[in-house]
Structure 1
Amino acid sequence: MDSVLDLARWQFGITTVYHFFFVPLTIGLSLLVAIMETIWLRTRKQEWLRLTKFFGKLFLINIAMGVVTGIVQEFQFGMNWSDYSRFVGDIFGAPLAVEALLAFFLESTFLGLWIFGWDKLPRSLHAGCMWIVHIGTLASSWFILAANSWMQHPVGYHFDKATGRAELDDFWAVMFNKVQLGTFPHVILAAYMTGAAFILGISAVLYVKKAEADRSMYRGGMRFAAWVMVVAGIGVGISGDVQGKIMTDVQPMKMAAAEALWDTSDTCAPFSILTIGTRDGKHKKWALEVPCVLSFLATGHTDQRVQGIYNLQKEYRERYGADTSSTTFSSGDYTPIIPITYWSFRWMMGLGVVGALVGLGLLWLTRKNKAPTARWFAVVAIASPVMVLLGNSVGWIFTEMGRQPWVVFGLLTTSQGVSPGVSAAEVWISLVGFTLVYLVLAVVEVGLLVRFVKKGADPFVEPPTPKWRESDEDRDKPLTFAY
């Protein structure tokens, strides 16, 4: 691996996947912490305030790490992908600018009010701050996913031959791209599932290790998270089905690669649960298949035609010609790396289903005030956030790798987007540097989480009643940190 293209792809992959560990967790926790504080306001039960502050701390750790690692993504576009940035700059400039100026500032402003406003703001207004933070995360996700969806299905633009750039014609077409309309609910529901799995796993650990007096609190946290996992898991499945049909419409090669379907199936295409094939992935030796399921996933009907890789490859060569600049793909090869797309597609679905089943199983184990006693309970509960988080990650790997060799589908190949003036040595240096920094950040993140999780929720302390209206002296007091 000594080509600039290969190194640049590895660097972007490492930094992006690492950053995305924190994104769904932050989105999910912002909603769940807001709900917990709202429940406390409505019920005045002490345990919900304790859980709010406890998981609020863990949320703050993750959002800080997400911001730090997200900044690196901006540098990637200018460092190793300058030709790509030049090509899409007019399209990406609008949504990413709005995301920074509106969504990010909204999140950061109201997060600061939530952190420092426990003794300054009325309680309902304080809880409202976290709801606004969550709305900010949704807005941020919308604009970023709109930019990514444009890469999957370019709309609302024209190509300027004089400048060699794609230029924006219709901002709203980009914002409401049909790929965006399928992707956004799928990603957000997966984020809710991730945040719930995080709460479930940590609550399970503390349920087992903490004193009897706190067990009912952590049991309540587990059941709350389990309900969210089940409901969000159902939503992820439904939205994923919709997204799959949209994907088949705009990127049929990605669906064919997800199934390793080389030959077009005219009717009742089967879905393979497991396939053993040749080393090049082009021929299957044995497969465990479910009849007609792929046709349903791709079209919504069990008897519809699904195009295969060979047919699509011929069609793409006629439409787009040969990608003569590619150093990773053979000239004119528009096929993704089949083993990666095939297995990432299955790991994404499998881990999502297992996560929802964990939530359902925990609801069963804790029904009618029962206490889970099985030895495997804690192990499975602890593993659940890891499984769901990995499911999110392999889902994005499938989404991005399944689009290859395109970086902007039908317009710009990945090899055409790499910076022309960057040497392999320069990319190696930045790749090693970022990887080492991220390893240090991983140690910091895990260390902070372990430290605060071991400590558990703090004892109940009634938040002070805001007195800022009563006197100038109180009004001038400095804001105090919530913890």
Structure 2
Amino acid sequence: MDALDVARWQFGVTTVYHFLFVPLTIGLSVLVAILQTMWHRTGNERYLKLTKFYGKLFLINFAMGVVTGIVQEFQFGMNWSDYSRFVGDVFGAPLAIEALVAFFLESTFIGLWIFGWDRLPKRAHLASIWAAAIGTNLSAYFILAANSFMQNPVGYRINPDSGRAELTDFPAVLTNKVALITFPHTLAGSFLVAGSLIVAVGLWHVIRNRDSADTGAYRFATKFGSWVVLVASAAVLFTGDIQGKIMTDVQPMKMAAAEGLYTTESPASFSVLTIGSLDGTREVFALKIPYLLSYLGTGDPNGTVHGINDLQAQYATQYGAGSYTPIIPVTYWSFRFMIAFGMAAGAIALLVLWTQRKGRTPSSKWLLRAGLAMPVLPLLANSFGWIFTEMGRQPWIVFGEMLTRNGVSRSVSLAEVLTSFTAFTLIYATLAVIEVKLLLRYAKAGVPDVSEQPPADDTDDAERPLAFAY
């Protein structure tokens, strides 16, 4: 073990942990805005209760996401200074816009939304949550555009004197074909997470508090969340299919590694399950779907999918001697876990809708347990998806331009990286406990009482302090 290995573990742990909050923030921001819009248009208090209820969960998650996201900025300078030096000119533009435009839009209007209840005009207050949701999604796009440069570098040139990548075409970076499909795929995964949380909390109250006066609101929440999950599941499959074809075009080794395909095949089958050697070189038993891998990679059931051995030989000739094969067990299983967990969430959502057909009230303890597991399933799917995306690109940190081992800070020792890794892991574990406890406490508390009118106040409106709604 050396500093490079620990630095990679540290970046992986902090990134995956941070991304546990990101999809929920992205999805809930829009869904809360939709709920508030429904209240604004209908005047039905049920939608106001749900807006404030899920809005509180959104704010808890947003706060934790901001705290953990700040650490990501320091990662580049702490352990990956050579990478930062190489790619900083390209990364600087989208990340600066993300911070100065998207994040400021998001944070400013979230503040107005929090403090603006009973103070701002209803339309202005509604607009503030929509502005915050737009800022959240813009923030995601600029970050994904930066990440997509690592997958498929475009709009740059290498300065022969400094050896750095220099930005030459910013629109090309923003319209990178990897970014254009990764963004809707990420949004779909985010709505899968947010919809699952809405279903889980609503279903818990429907089953556990059957005689509550707010049962109707919870029943609506479970149906609303279930439909969001089903639509998001379809969107994940559709965008994932396109993403697989683009991935095969720009990173054929990643698609080969996803299947553990060592020899070029036409047509190529997709293995649902393979039993054999850990690296996939020896197969004892495999459950395969004929033609599926060819279709996923090329759009043609008889298309050619290049194998690991041929691609390794090609890259060795193109880039020099060395191994250009990622860790096959990680790519193979993370790809399948991503699909399986996402499909499981969709199946439970369908079951929840079925149990509530024709006005029925679900009561099964098994359904409740399945519903409570729902938010975890798409979170795992998202995490394994990013593990596959980043690990499948290895050994490159910027595909075709910089190897991961060349991006680590040269002056950072193993002891220093171990110290920061241990500290961050302990801090994140503490934050995880706080996050879960807060979410559980406020989720169990149920929807707020919104029937009471704010007390009369003769103070001049301009002098009246802002009201904190939570």
TM-score of the aligned structures, taking structure 1 as reference length: 0.95
Q: Does the CA-based 8 Å contact 2:278-2:329 persist in structure 1? A: no
Deviation at residue 54 of structure 1 after TM alignment: 0.8
Aligned to 1:397: 387
Which stretch of the first structure deviates more once superposed, 205-214 or 63-72? Answer: 205-214
Aligned residues: 469
Name the SS for the 2:213 alignment partner.
helix
Q: Does the CA-based 8 Å contact 1:120-1:466 persist in structure 2? A: no
Name the SS for the 1:213 alignment partner.
coil
> Do structure 1's residue 415 and structure 2's residue 405 form an aligned pair?
yes
Q: Does the CA-based 8 Å contact 2:269-2:294 persist in structure 1? A: yes
Q: Does the CA-based 8 Å contact 2:276-2:282 persist in structure 1? A: yes
Which stretch of the first structure deviates more once superposed, 273-282 or 50-59? Answer: 273-282
Aligned to 1:384: 374
Distance 1:107 1:91 in 2: 24
Aligned to 1:449: 439
Name the SS for the 2:261 alignment partner.
coil
Amino acid at match of 2:169: D
Deviation at residue 465 of structure 1 after TM alignment: 11
Name the SS for the 1:240 alignment partner.
helix
Q: Does the CA-based 8 Å contact 1:96-1:144 persist in structure 2? A: yes
Distance 1:259 1:305 in 2: 14
Name the SS for the 1:371 alignment partner.
coil
Name the SS for the 1:403 alignment partner.
coil
Q: Kindly tell me: are residues 338 and 400 of structure 1, through their superposed partners in 2, closer, same or farther at Cα, counting changes over 3 Å?
A: same
Q: Does the CA-based 8 Å contact 1:81-1:419 persist in structure 2? A: yes
Name the SS for the 2:273 alignment partner.
strand
Q: Kindly tell me: are residues 476 and 300 of structure 1, through their superposed partners in 2, closer, same or farther at Cα, counting changes over 3 Å?
A: same
Distance 1:354 1:57 in 2: 27
Offset from partner CA, 1:58-116 (integer Å, 9 cap, x none): 11100000000000001100000000000000000000000000000000110000000
Name the SS for the 1:274 alignment partner.
strand
Aligned to 1:303: 302
Aligned to 2:24: 25
- Which runs of structure 2 are paired with 1:267-282 in the superposition (5 Å)? 267-282=266-281
Aligned to 2:107: 108
Aligned to 1:326: none
Deviation at residue 463 of structure 1 after TM alignment: 6.1
Distance 1:311 1:170 in 2: 33
Deviation at residue 206 of structure 1 after TM alignment: 1.6
Q: Does the CA-based 8 Å contact 1:200-1:226 persist in structure 2? A: yes
Distance 1:462 1:407 in 2: 56
Offset from partner CA, 1:28-51 (integer Å, 9 cap, x none): 000110011111111221111111
Q: 1:344 is matched with which residue: 334, 347, 353? A: 334
- Which runs of structure 2 are paired with 1:367-382 in the superposition (5 Å)? 367-382=357-372
TM-score of the aligned structures, taking structure 2 as reference length: 0.98
> Do structure 1's residue 218 and structure 2's residue 215 form an aligned pair?
no
Amino acid at match of 2:36: E
Offset from partner CA, 1:304-349 (integer Å, 9 cap, x none): 1110000000000000002xxxxxxxxx100000000000000111
Deviating beyond 4 angstroms after TM superposition, the runs of 4 or more aligned structure 1 residues are 462-467
- Which runs of structure 2 are paired with 1:67-106 in the superposition (5 Å)? 67-106=66-105
Name the SS for the 2:275 alignment partner.
strand
Distance 1:14 1:137 in 2: 23
Structure 1: gaps of 5 or more residues: 323-331
Q: Kindly tell me: are residues 285 and 463 of structure 1, through their superposed partners in 2, closer, same or farther at Cα, counting changes over 3 Å?
A: farther
Offset from partner CA, 1:271-325 (integer Å, 9 cap, x none): 0000012134322221000100000000001011110000000000000002xxx
Distance 2:249 2:454 in 1: 56
Name the SS for the 1:142 alignment partner.
helix
Distance 1:439 1:273 in 2: 34
- Which runs of structure 2 are paired with 1:428-467 in the superposition (5 Å)? 428-461=418-451
- Which runs of structure 2 are paired with 1:231-380 in the superposition (5 Å)? 231-265=231-265, 267-322=266-321, 332-380=322-370
Aligned to 2:191: 192
- Which runs of structure 2 are paired with 1:85-164 in the superposition (5 Å)? 85-164=84-163
Amino acid at match of 2:242: V
Aligned to 2:174: 175
Distance 1:190 1:417 in 2: 30
Q: Does the CA-based 8 Å contact 1:145-1:180 persist in structure 2? A: yes
Q: Does the CA-based 8 Å contact 1:27-1:137 persist in structure 2? A: yes
Distance 1:455 1:221 in 2: 15
Q: Does the CA-based 8 Å contact 2:49-2:447 persist in structure 1? A: yes
Distance 2:366 2:434 in 1: 29
Distance 1:375 1:45 in 2: 31
Deviation at residue 362 of structure 1 after TM alignment: 1.3
Q: Kindly tell me: are residues 45 and 161 of structure 1, through their superposed partners in 2, closer, same or farther at Cα, counting changes over 3 Å?
A: same
Aligned to 2:6: 7
Distance 1:465 1:109 in 2: 27
Distance 2:35 2:413 in 1: 51
Deviation at residue 209 of structure 1 after TM alignment: 2.1
Q: 1:480 is matched with which residue: 462, 467, 470? A: 467
Q: Does the CA-based 8 Å contact 1:119-1:463 persist in structure 2? A: no
Amino acid at match of 1:336: P
Deviation at residue 212 of structure 1 after TM alignment: 3.1
Offset from partner CA, 1:233-265 (integer Å, 9 cap, x none): 101100000000000000000000000000000
Amino acid at match of 1:185: P
Amino acid at match of 2:216: S
Structure 2: gaps of 5 or more residues: none
RMSD: 1.4
Deviation at residue 466 of structure 1 after TM alignment: 11
Offset from partner CA, 1:113-143 (integer Å, 9 cap, x none): 0000012111122111111111001110110
Deviation at residue 462 of structure 1 after TM alignment: 5.5
Amino acid at match of 2:108: T
